[in-house]
Structure 1
Amino acid sequence: MSAGTAETGTTTEWLGQVNEHDKVIGQVTQDGAWAWRLTVRGINACVVNSQGELWIPRRTEHKRMFPGCLDMSVGGHVDRGEDHLTAFGREIREELNLDPDTVMWREIAAFSPYRTGLSMFMRVYEIRTDQAPDFNPDDFTEAWWLTPQALRRRIEAGDPAKGDLAELVQRCHGDQLT
């Protein structure tokens, strides 16, 4: 959850609107960005163990978008005034109760919606640990350690997944992790 302005008891998430060169040109609410298909920034991360398995959680049913779906280990928008790295740190603290200063992580990809068809400018990070995160129960209900192949099979068998999950895993991890 992001800091924002309260409107009738809810929190409005403000994002930086960016142009085709990933330069901030204004601000927009998260709802406005989705409604008008405006370009914004986001981050995703996968927790990966020493066996090459991804920690894949299921989103809670009360999530407005993709409720009950399999998801990346961490994901979120870059809030107004943030950069990708700041958003990554905020999101892993909020969703996984992890401190970016105490875990091994690295950036593994940067995507443009103009070259990939993904929904936003996105940075993807990898967190290396054999310990399952102590996830925030407001974000996730359960999780599994899955190989990219096992995740693909679950999605193909009909397990609901966030819209870009399969594509992100394929682009970032293919069939094998290194």
Structure 2
Amino acid sequence: METVEWLDLVNEQDEVIGRVTRDEAWEKRLSVRVVNAFLVNSRGELWIPRRTAHKKMFPNSLDMSVGGHVESGEDYLSCFKREVKEELNLDVNALDWREIASFSPFNTSLSAFMRVYEIRSDLDPDYNPDDFTEAFWLTPAQVLERIAGGDPAKGDLAELVRLCYLS
């Protein structure tokens, strides 16, 4: 049986106004919170993984290094730490990281309220094989070239790369 994932529903100021299921938020395009992170090496390349085939949304697609929904009652930073541990098997407290951006779906074409983090490392993470099948170190321009060339990608990936690394 699939577990129901509850998310905070937020208004245009990113204030909690209720709770919704993840499925309901996607179906109705409701305003919720997410985190994304990019693992960046000393050459300025982004670690870009490919999602597994069994993912409900964007199967077999290129993805951010880390991403996830902020659960109901959770804050952005706690979600970032949890997702990094779950997806990359890394402890944020032992990493060189920083928040690099904060976005609203009301002034971008992004899908949700979003905080974006950057993790600095030259090491390939021991990623969760339930999340990803493979990964590539790519420059921001190479990420956009692959997407433009037809490589499937998660919905916000190209815009996030442009906003965070090419603006």
TM bracket, shorter-chain basis: over 0.9
- TM-score using structure 1 length: 0.92
State the identity as a percent: 66
- TM-score using structure 2 length: 0.98
Q: Are positions 1:45 and 2:44 aligned together?
A: no
Pick one of 117, 122, 125 that aligns with 1:130. 122
Q: Structure 2 matches for 1:94-109, cutoff 5 A?
A: 94-109=86-101
- In the alignment, the residues of structure 1 paired with residue 52 and residue 151 of structure 2 have an alpha-carbon distance, to the nearest angstrom, of 14
Shift of 1:48: 0.1
Q: Are positions 1:61 and 2:53 aligned together?
A: yes
Pick one of 41, 66, 80 that aligns with 2:72. 80
Cα RMSD (Å): 0.8
- In the alignment, the residues of structure 1 paired with residue 85 and residue 23 of structure 2 have an alpha-carbon distance, to the nearest angstrom, of 23
Q: Structure 2 matches for 1:1-178, cutoff 5 A?
A: 9-174=1-166
Aligned residues: 167
- Give CA deviations for 1:89-116 in whole Å, capped at 9, x if unaligned: 0000000001010011000000011011
Q: Extract unaligned runs of 5+ from structure 2.
A: none
Q: Which amino acid aligns with 1:67?
A: P
Q: Structure 1 runs of 4+ off > 2 angstroms?
A: none
Q: Which amino acid aligns with 1:156?
A: A
Q: Extract unaligned runs of 5+ from structure 1.
A: 1-8
- In the alignment, the residues of structure 1 paired with residue 25 and residue 113 of structure 2 have an alpha-carbon distance, to the nearest angstrom, of 13
- Give CA deviations for 1:49-75 in whole Å, capped at 9, x if unaligned: 000000000000000000000000000
- In the alignment, the residues of structure 1 paired with residue 147 and residue 106 of structure 2 have an alpha-carbon distance, to the nearest angstrom, of 26
